Amino acid sequence: MPVTTASDTRDGAGRLTAATAPTVAVLLAGGRGRRAGLDKRYLVLGGRTLLQRNARFLRALFPAVVVSHARGQEPDLGDEAALPLLPDAYPGRSPLTGIVTALDGLGGPLFVMAVDLAFPDAGAVRRVVAAAAASRADITLPRVGPHREPLFAVYGPGCLAPMRALLREGQHRIAAAFPSLRLEEVPFPDTRPFHNINTMDEYREARRRFAEEEPAGDPPALVAVVGKSDSGKTTVVERLLPELRALGLRVGTVKHDAHGFEIDHPGKDSWRHGQAGAEAYAISSPERFAFVARLDEELPLTTLARRYFGGFDLLLAEGYKRSAPHRIEVFRAAAGHREPLCAPGEALALVTDTELPHERRFALDDAAGLARFIAARLDTLRMY
């Protein structure tokens, strides 16, 4: 993918010598996420994964966006429109490997941004890009006080040779290349546009700040785990819930019971309220709240989602095999069934211990992979 620039004049060392502006952005999505303890690309903020949010952010600013990733870790963009993927050509899984691979394959200049930024700002991008276009620097990057921000920066083709040399030496620090390159530093008053999420504490703080600034207004995403009897639906739900919560999702559940049920005990005060004729009653304590209502007919799952789970990111249902708008099927050969419940094309994913063909098939114990799949499709799951 060649980079188109306003002009493309270089000196003998390959450095830019005329005003140029990048038209290609590279989203670096290949880090290890060691400090967070999980794949940060799928942490959810404002109803979308960081991967989706930042891909969409860059698409609004640049004619072309490429997602850089480590080999064997191809990202799932889910609901976000397809983007070109660029696997690292060097070992090490660092931002530097992504930058060198992009410069090597795409040319330059390139605007580069990390996938784990919480609050990227379009005005900040424009300032950095404008400074790059007006300078002859190899790297144009923000500076806040004494700190530089190399993962929100413009890299010119003159960076390629010294950075490639660093990788050959086993060096992965971007700053190690700075002494041999010309830098243009753009001053900023604070780090908010470049704040990246390294730990789960930082992620929780980002969620808190986002909730204060962008109150939730969308209905919860909705998906049902379905399957024939004894297929292991409840076990899958039990394994899936902590993985979804780890990605930052606030999840509610509903279990369908076709035979009726009681949650209050005969003789208790609340039960007596119902027996005396209350159409609805609630039981409240410092730890729990339960609401019981009489129904003339069963409420649709979609009504339950909208009426009782506002403010949740996701409603995970068990059952509703015929009426759920979005379904994930559990099919376990050990349960003795010969074929799945859902017809081909009906289930979004298949969780199974078999080799049955499905575009999105997960092992019974791959709850983490299934959680990432769901998190990447929250927009689709809100459509009902």
* pLDDT at residue 18, as a whole number: 39
Phi–psi pair at 332, nearest 5 degrees: -120, 115
CATH number of 221-268+295-381: 3.30.70.100, 3.40.50.300, 3.90.10.10, 3.30.450.20? 3.40.50.300
pLDDT digits (tens, 9 = 90+) for 208-217: 888 888 766 7
CB-based contacts of 302: which residues, under 8 Å, 6+ apart? 222, 325, 384
Token pair recorded at residue 286: 């410092």
Distance CA 165, CA 170 (A): 9
Distance between CA atoms of 123 and 109, rounded to whole angstroms? 19
pLDDT at 281: 77
State the DSSP H helix or E strand holding residue 143, giving kind and residue range, or none if neither. Answer: strand 139-144
Start-to-end Cα distance in the chain: 38
Name residue 193's amino acid: P
What is the pTM (predicted TM-score) of this model?
A: 0.85
Query: What pLDDT, on a 0 to 100 scale, did the predictor assign at position 34?
Result: 63
User: pLDDT value at position 223?
Assistant: 97
Tell me the pLDDT tens digit for each residue of 32-57: 556 667 899 999 998 999 999 999 99
Q: Do domains 24-211 and 221-268+295-381 have the same CATH topology?
A: no
**β-pairing verdict for 139-144 and 183-187:** parallel
77 within 8 A of 51, measured Cβ to Cβ: yes
Whole-number pLDDT of residue 23: 92
Query: E-assigned strands of 169-219?
Result: 183-187
Q: Are 67 and 137 in contact (CB under 8 A)?
A: no
Which pLDDT score, from 0 to 100, does residue 31 have?
59
Nearest residue to 184 via CA among 256, 134, 219 = 134
Q: What is the pLDDT of residue 259?
A: 66
CATH placement of domain 24-211:
3.90.550.10
Q: List all residues 6 or more positions away from 90 whose beta carbon is below 8 Å from its beta carbon.
A: 97, 100, 101, 167
Residues of the chain where predicted confidence (pLDDT) is lower than 70: 1-20, 31-36, 215-216, 258-262
Spans of all domains in the chain:
24-211, 221-268+295-381
Pairing of strands 327-331, 349-352: parallel
Ramachandran bin of 5, using left for φ above 0, alpha for ψ from -120 to 50, beta for the remaining angles = beta
